[in-house]
Chain A
Amino acid sequence: MSTITIKNVTKAFGDVVVLKEFDEVFGDKEFVTLLGPSGCGKTTMLRMIAGFEKPTTGEIHIGDRVVSSDKTFVPPEKRGIGMVFQSYAVWPHMTVYDNVAYPLKIAKIPKAEIKNKVESILGVVHLSQYASRYPSQLSGGQQQRVALGRALVAEPKVLLLDEPLSNLDAKLRESMRFEIKEIQKNFGITVVYVTHDQTEAMAMSDRIIVINRGVIQQVGTPTEIYQKPANQFVADFVGKVNFLKGEVKEGHIELVGLDQSIPYDGVYKGKVVVAIRPENITLIPNGQGSLKGKLLTQFYLGDVNDCRIDIGGEVIRVIAESESYGALQENQEISLYLKDFLVYEDDGKDDHTSIIT
């Protein structure tokens, strides 16, 4: 059983606090993703679980063993963790076989057994025929698999992955996602995955932890994170979103400076921010729907039609069905139907315009 318990961990480098009071339990055999923009502290958290960094305060437990606290610190080599690095960190002076066999050699496992285990793991990562090659003779994707094989060979209960797919091309990235997920299920291991790529996080995770500026923003399943983002940052970072400022009046929200309003009967009062995902807007014939506007540009992307629509002072993005591309003209007056939208209290602190995606 391998839960990871992080108790109130804060990490500071000198005066700079990179992670603030991180408190979370990762369940056994769970696939947890730490998601956030670069510099948010997600990699630091991962490196603290690995033991490459010491928390400034707080405790980390792996299973029921304390690996990091005020009194104890277990160095990385004693934690029994598998890890895949962003740069792969495949040793250039060792063959694929030797790279993968390394953790077993360290553990002083008999040679015959090492051979069996390495061969079986090379099969899992589809590298059996490359065993005697050197990393320089491998492609990026293959090196990635070597790193994965090396991390898995000692059958760790916990696997850490630090942006493992960020150096691969798009197609390979997609297929690796499913491979990693598959391996995790078959091996029954706890995975902590760090990425800034939200699609990657959505595709693989049981739970996502969204972090910004060292603070957890939301913890939830991919559906929760996407459909009910806890705040404007999460809404913006995960998926695409249009933000509109508004004010709640009886039964509707008046959009600031637009002379338009949308129906609303929720709990918020006063100033609010409305968040609408582009795919939750449907284009309908003029004169119907809750909002009206003028089509500025449209881009045919094959699967969808990506539109910019001026709704009287603000430009919003709408992702429409691809068939609409031929039917619409630029500068055409158009009406919009909102399938779904989110409302946040406008406390003035979360300035959505400062978050650029």
Chain B
Amino acid sequence: MQPSIAPSKKRFSFDFQFDVMWLIMGAIILFLLVFQVFPLLYLVFRAFFSTGSFSLEAFKRVYTYPLNWSALRNTLVTATLSMFFGVLIAFPLAWLVGRTNLYGKKFFRTLFVMTYMVPPYVGAMAWLRLLNPRVGNLNVFLQNLFRLESPPFNIYSVGGLVWVLTTFYYPYAFITISRAMEKMDPSLEEASRISGASPLRTLWTVTLPMMAPSIVAAALLVFVSAASCYGIPSIVGAPGQIHTVTTRIIDFVYIGSQEGLTDATTLAVFLMLIANVVLYVSTFVVGRKQYITVSGKSTRPNIVDLGKWRIPITVLVSIFAIVIVVLPFLTVALTSITVNMGRPLTMSNITFKYWERIFTRKAIIQSAKNSLVSASIAATAGIVVSLVMAYLLVRTNVKGKRIPDFLITVGSGTPSVVIALALIMTMSGRFHINIYNTLTIMIIAYMIKYQLMGMRTVVSAMSQIHPSLEEASQISGAGWLRVVKDVTIPLIAPSVVAGWFLIFMPSFYELTMSTLLYSTDTKTLGYELFTYQTYHSQQTASALATAILILVIVVNWLLNRLTDGEFSI
């Protein structure tokens, strides 16, 4: 037997592994510091030191301007109402789909979750068509049906804005709530039943209170998403002169002057403040409570029998799904093949020239290419970061591993407009980095905003792999790298693919940041679609949107297949 020569050599490599980890973590932290922390801090700094020395001049100017005030008010009002209605819709839906014998639960679940992956502006486009005060299809239909004197709805209103925001952000709440519902230990409810409580009473006295933290988290998520949304208010709100903070910020940036930039910054600080408070509350106040109520083990929830209500409720949910999901998507799809949008859709009014256009027009193809390239790079880089982070978080005790985790969470919680604005102000040469007008700045923005989704997916997959699976490989003689290659990677591969798509998809059709960061050579698909919708041809925009919808459906199907139907965001 050999004594201690070989071991000491191996010991080196054991330490070496940790040195590499430190190095990679350092690189991630550095990246985040340069491209996220610094720009955001600078943004705040700029808002207070716009003239070189400390002054509240900019704040005074911005917040005394009536249009800005109404934008602030609109943002708060629409976000609050969307939050309220969103949760009001999401909770019963999550309960019905997760905990009852509703017909077609699985289908409904997939449908609602899928909406999450659809860009919100598609909803705005659809509802614009349906509820236009004069010619909206649904308006006309309802007016004829009930013999009304005037069309019942006007989409160009605060109410219209709330409606579209709600229909496109309730899935956020739905996903959060149903995940918590599935994770809840059913024996807690069984204990209530055995104590004599009816299913409804159990729901009221046990399920609901235990879900409270998740519901609050879901509500906050909807609130901040609705408040930082740009696509919907710019499409639905702008024609009716309804401004929100996001549309004002982008208007100010488009002015192009220093003063415009300062005003944008000052408004952005407000949005950032809201987002940070929400993030703080949901992570540190609500998030902590969640661990107490929800047991970690995967359990089979007990199913409530809806009895004689089974069919009526299924019908109700179906109607909801048709109105909220199918109708808008169908509208957009039909718009894309309509010649004259003022006339009914007959054979003579059908055309595929818009579809031909989106596949032949050079500008569109170029933009699609830009989006494909930047989204792919962002997803790939993001997933690499996610893998490293998952390894650090789950498998090591490296000091400070929580720092990049925290920064990534903050980045994702920051409104897109704020991220883009902060990047514009710091990355256009002022601090020796000039990546403005390049795809690089776009990729960085996407990573900051979306890589959290990838990270969460990979981390949860990694933490489900019992360490003994890796140890068994090690005791069989495999070194560190071999263990990762033979055991870790194959087991988390589906989640890695899923995580990749979760970064790729929103980046691919991203609108808000692209609107601020694009240049003539780096237009993106989202921006292209947006300009077609607003200025040129709604049909072309609809064709693009339908193409994106199809992609979303395919990817969703793919992810479901990959993860054996276990896939949930």
Minimum Cβ distance to chain A for residue B143 (Å): 58
Please tell me if the beta carbons of A89 and B476 are within 8 angstroms of each other in the complex: no
Please tell me if the beta carbons of B487 and A91 are within 8 angstroms of each other in the complex: yes
A52 at interface by CB-CB < 8 Å: yes
For the residues of A in contact with B, the DSSP-based class is loop
Chain A residues contacting B7 (CB-CB under 8 Å) are 66-67, 72-74, 78
Interface string of B298-329 (1 = CB under 8 A from A): 00000000000000000000000000000000
Please tell me if the beta carbons of A74 and B10 are within 8 angstroms of each other in the complex: yes
Give the number of residues in A that approach B within 8 Å (Cβ atoms).
38
B491 at interface by CB-CB < 8 Å: yes
* Max chain A C-beta neighbours (<10 A), residue from B14, B476, B482, B487: B476
Bound Cα distance from A89 to B491, whole angstroms? 13
Q: A71-B8, A73-B11, A87-B466 are in contact. Are A102 and B1 (CB under 8 A)?
A: no
Bound Cα distance from A87 to B465, whole angstroms? 11
Nearest CB to that of A101 among chain B residues?
B476
Minimum Cβ distance to chain B for residue A92 (Å): 7
Nearest CB to that of A73 among chain B residues?
B11
Bound Cα distance from A176 to B497, whole angstroms? 41
A76 at interface by CB-CB < 8 Å: yes
Please tell me if the beta carbons of B472 and A150 are within 8 angstroms of each other in the complex: yes
Tell me the chain A residues, 57-85 only, with Cβ under 8 Å from chain B: 63-67, 69, 71-83, 85
Nearest CB to that of B476 among chain A residues?
A103
Please tell me if the beta carbons of A102 and B475 are within 8 angstroms of each other in the complex: no
Bound Cα distance from A71 to B7, whole angstroms? 10
A267 at interface by CB-CB < 8 Å: no
Please tell me if the beta carbons of B477 and A52 are within 8 angstroms of each other in the complex: no
Tell me the chain A residues, 86-143 only, with Cβ under 8 Å from chain B: 86-87, 89-93, 102-103, 106-107
Please tell me if the beta carbons of B466 and A89 are within 8 angstroms of each other in the complex: yes
Please tell me if the beta carbons of A75 and B10 are within 8 angstroms of each other in the complex: yes
B469 at interface by CB-CB < 8 Å: yes
Nearest CB to that of B8 among chain A residues?
A72
Bound Cα distance from A72 to B490, whole angstroms? 33
Please tell me if the beta carbons of B474 and A76 are within 8 angstroms of each other in the complex: yes
Interface string of A281-309 (1 = CB under 8 A from B): 00000000000000000000000000000
Give the number of residues in B that approach A within 8 Å (Cβ atoms).
27
A50 at interface by CB-CB < 8 Å: yes
Minimum Cβ distance to chain A for residue B12 (Å): 11
Bound Cα distance from A82 to B472, whole angstroms? 9
Please tell me if the beta carbons of A106 and B471 are within 8 angstroms of each other in the complex: no
Chain B residues contacting A103 (CB-CB under 8 Å) are 476-477
Chain B residues contacting A87 (CB-CB under 8 Å) are 466, 468
Please tell me if the beta carbons of B3 and A106 are within 8 angstroms of each other in the complex: no
A211 at interface by CB-CB < 8 Å: no
Please tell me if the beta carbons of A52 and B471 are within 8 angstroms of each other in the complex: yes
Q: A83-B475, A91-B487 are in contact. Are A75 and B14 (CB under 8 A)?
A: yes
Chain A residues contacting B490 (CB-CB under 8 Å) are 93
B4 at interface by CB-CB < 8 Å: yes
Please tell me if the beta carbons of B4 and A66 are within 8 angstroms of each other in the complex: yes
Minimum Cβ distance to chain B for residue A78 (Å): 6
A208 at interface by CB-CB < 8 Å: no
A154 at interface by CB-CB < 8 Å: yes
Q: A81-B475, A87-B468, A106-B478 are in contact. Are A92 and B491 (CB under 8 A)?
A: yes
Please tell me if the beta carbons of B466 and A77 are within 8 angstroms of each other in the complex: no
Among B2, B11, B14, B476, point to the contact of A102 (Cβ < 8 A).
B476
Chain B residues contacting A79 (CB-CB under 8 Å) are 475
B6 at interface by CB-CB < 8 Å: yes
Nearest CB to that of B471 among chain A residues?
A52
Bound Cα distance from A50 to B467, whole angstroms? 14
* Max chain B C-beta neighbours (<10 A), residue from A51, A67, A93: A93
Nearest CB to that of A99 among chain B residues?
B472
Among B11, B469, B486, point to the contact of A89 (Cβ < 8 A).
B469
Bound Cα distance from A69 to B11, whole angstroms? 12
Please tell me if the beta carbons of A76 and B471 are within 8 angstroms of each other in the complex: yes
Minimum Cβ distance to chain B for residue A5 (Å): 13
B473 at interface by CB-CB < 8 Å: yes
Chain A residues contacting B468 (CB-CB under 8 Å) are 85-87, 89
Please tell me if the beta carbons of B11 and A77 are within 8 angstroms of each other in the complex: no
Interface string of B5-26 (1 = CB under 8 A from A): 0111011001000000000000
B479 at interface by CB-CB < 8 Å: yes
Bound Cα distance from A86 to B469, whole angstroms? 11
Please tell me if the beta carbons of A93 and B473 are within 8 angstroms of each other in the complex: no
Bound Cα distance from A93 to B477, whole angstroms? 19
Please tell me if the beta carbons of B479 and A77 are within 8 angstroms of each other in the complex: yes
Chain B residues contacting A72 (CB-CB under 8 Å) are 4, 7-8, 11
Please tell me if the beta carbons of A71 and B475 are within 8 angstroms of each other in the complex: no
Please tell me if the beta carbons of B4 and A78 are within 8 angstroms of each other in the complex: no
Please tell me if the beta carbons of A63 and B469 are within 8 angstroms of each other in the complex: no
Please tell me if the beta carbons of A85 and B10 are within 8 angstroms of each other in the complex: no
Minimum Cβ distance to chain B for residue A66 (Å): 5
Bound Cα distance from A302 to B505, whole angstroms? 67
Chain A residues contacting B472 (CB-CB under 8 Å) are 83, 85, 89-91, 147, 150
Please tell me if the beta carbons of A66 and B3 are within 8 angstroms of each other in the complex: yes
Chain A residues contacting B477 (CB-CB under 8 Å) are 77-78, 80, 103, 106-107, 154
Chain A residues contacting B474 (CB-CB under 8 Å) are 52, 75-77
Please tell me if the beta carbons of A77 and B491 are within 8 angstroms of each other in the complex: no
Nearest CB to that of A85 among chain B residues?
B468
Q: A65-B2, A72-B4 are in contact. Are A77 and B475 (CB under 8 A)?
A: yes
Bound Cα distance from A73 to B13, whole angstroms? 11
Interface string of B154-185 (1 = CB under 8 A from A): 00000000000000000000000000000000
> 18 other contacts beyond A63-B1, A72-B7, A87-B466, with CB at 8 A cut-off?
A52-B474, A66-B7, A71-B8, A74-B6, A75-B11, A75-B14, A77-B474, A77-B478, A78-B10, A78-B477, A79-B475, A81-B475, A87-B468, A91-B472, A102-B476, A103-B477, A150-B476, A151-B475
Closest 6 CB pairs between A and B? A103-B476, A89-B468, A89-B472, A106-B477, A74-B7, A85-B468
Offer 28 A-B interface pairs, CB within 8 angstroms, sorted by A. A51-B475, A64-B1, A65-B1, A65-B2, A69-B4, A71-B8, A72-B4, A72-B8, A73-B7, A73-B11, A74-B10, A75-B11, A77-B474, A77-B479, A78-B6, A78-B477, A79-B475, A83-B471, A87-B466, A89-B468, A89-B471, A91-B472, A91-B487, A102-B473, A103-B476, A150-B476, A151-B475, A154-B476
